Amino acid sequence: MVREFDHNGSSVIPVGVLPAGGYGVEFSTGSASIRTALQVAATDTVRLRYGFVVDYSPARDLQGVADTVRRLHLTGVQFYDWAYRHASLLGGGENYTDALDQPISLATVRSLVDAVQQAGAKALGYAAVYAVGPQEWGNWEHQALLNGAEAPYGLGDFLCLVDPAAEDWLGHFVGELDASVKSVGFDGFHLDQYGYPKVARRPDGTVVDVASSFATMIQGVRDELPDATLVFNNVNDFPTWVTGSSPQDAVYIELWSPQETLGSLGSTVARAKSVAGSKPVVIAAYQHVYDSASAEEADRATGLTMATLYSHGATHLLAGEADRILVDPYYVRNHTIELSTADLLKRWYDFLVEHDELLLDPSIVDVTGATVGEYNDDTDVTFDSAVVGETAQAGQVWRRVTESNGRRIVHLINLVGQTDSLWDAPRNAMTNIGGGKLKIRRIPGCRPRVQVADPDGAGRLIDVEVTVDGEFAFADLPPLSLWQLVLIDPTNQGGEDNDRS
């Protein structure tokens, strides 16, 4: 949906009362036209557009973070590595260095919490659910997760891991979280793990199914912090099948090998949605490519990553701080973006918000296999100079079809000029293959309405001329750049039309 408002020279633009949904907003200032987007939602947890902060040094500037939250419409911000120690979140007093010697001022953390909240997002404190550093290990080694060599699992020589569901540890952990809410003002927590082990043994001989322990831990945190926003990290999809239905506010997955292709991104989102219910799905896919390629090549990789995630119904943890993006799992090692990347993110996050109902609504279903191809012959797109396929194959147009509320959405992602389908690798320039030809089996008495939107184009949905020939309707689509969204309303009442084109 698009609304146009006249600001009459004022810096405040009243938009009135709007129904729930995503909106593109356009306004003019002299000769320039400016676009943004807004979403109206019934609750503040219906979507998670996730960002991050990492700098808590004394007297740091807050404005850049607030600007990022507003510009990209973020609804949640992860406060990464804000705490004193993993097992003692507030043990350092008001000023300290964290476990990796980064300077922390709790006054700055509190100021950032307030700035993020004032900008419209929730502040979520990072907390590892089973990690203990050397200073506290003596208190918790009796709950260690042991490997086959009878040594504690850990993260290098930096941390050791305990059973997250052990009664005494869980009581301690929840107490630390509760104290952090009261002291710092967090809205909730990002609950982290490292993806291993899957099964381990405690020193008392108990065999621990870690997936089950994670589910017990999430329930325990929810019971004690009923109003907190909780996001648990399913590292490399472990164990989404167990925790996806847990009482948290999103299904969040951080991806690693072997999930390296665009196709694997889509499959991961589909699995997450199958257990998420109405909870939003968020994928952490770090674009390491910015460290090794030009901004142009990396921007195209990011565009293909976002196109895949958005079109499958997930959002992307990528941007945060003041114009930074994630290129490393240690968020302090982030990347300062160039203007081209800032422009890309602005356009694409606006697009995500404006077309929320067509991308992120939990009711959306994939109907590709039931609609395309000669046997179905219901909805399809062809190109004169490119092959179209239903999987993410280099050298082709990746075509998917979804449905929601009686409308059909066709996603076209351009992989024609690529030599592989990796999501974290330099991408070649988009090959110009012209526009596609859309064919729709029509309902008697109806001329389908067809609209097209492109995040690198106008952003908004634009009507495309439709012609009819007997039982089918046809439309010539605009040239495909990276990603094109085609919206079809098959029940549009155009009257019985027997004109042939």
DSSP tag of 132: E
> For 365-461, where are the alpha helices, taking DSSP H only?
368-371, 373-376
CA 432/CA 404 separation, integer angstroms: 30
2 to 13, 167, 223, 354, 358: CA distances (angstroms): 15, 52, 41, 8, 14
CA 408/CA 404 separation, integer angstroms: 7
Quote the tokens at residue 412: 């076209």
Provide the residue-wise pLDDT of the chain in tens; the chain has 501 residues.
Answer: 555 555 555 667 777 788 899 999 888 777 778 899 999 998 888 999 999 999 999 989 999 999 999 999 999 999 999 999 999 999 999 999 999 999 999 999 999 999 999 999 999 999 999 999 999 999 999 999 999 999 999 998 889 999 999 999 999 999 999 999 999 999 999 999 999 999 999 999 999 999 999 999 999 999 999 999 999 999 999 999 999 999 999 999 999 999 999 999 999 999 999 999 999 999 999 999 999 999 999 999 999 999 999 999 999 999 999 999 999 999 999 999 999 999 999 999 999 999 999 999 999 999 999 999 999 999 999 999 999 999 999 999 999 999 999 999 999 999 999 999 999 999 999 999 999 999 999 999 899 999 999 999 999 999 999 999 999 999 999 999 999 999 999 998 654 443 332
Cβ(96)–Cβ(135) below 8 Å: no
How many residues are given for the chain?
501
Detail the DSSP E strand segments found in 47-185: 50-53, 76-79, 95-97, 103-105, 122-128, 131-132, 154-155, 159-161
Number of H helices, E strands in the chain: 12, 32
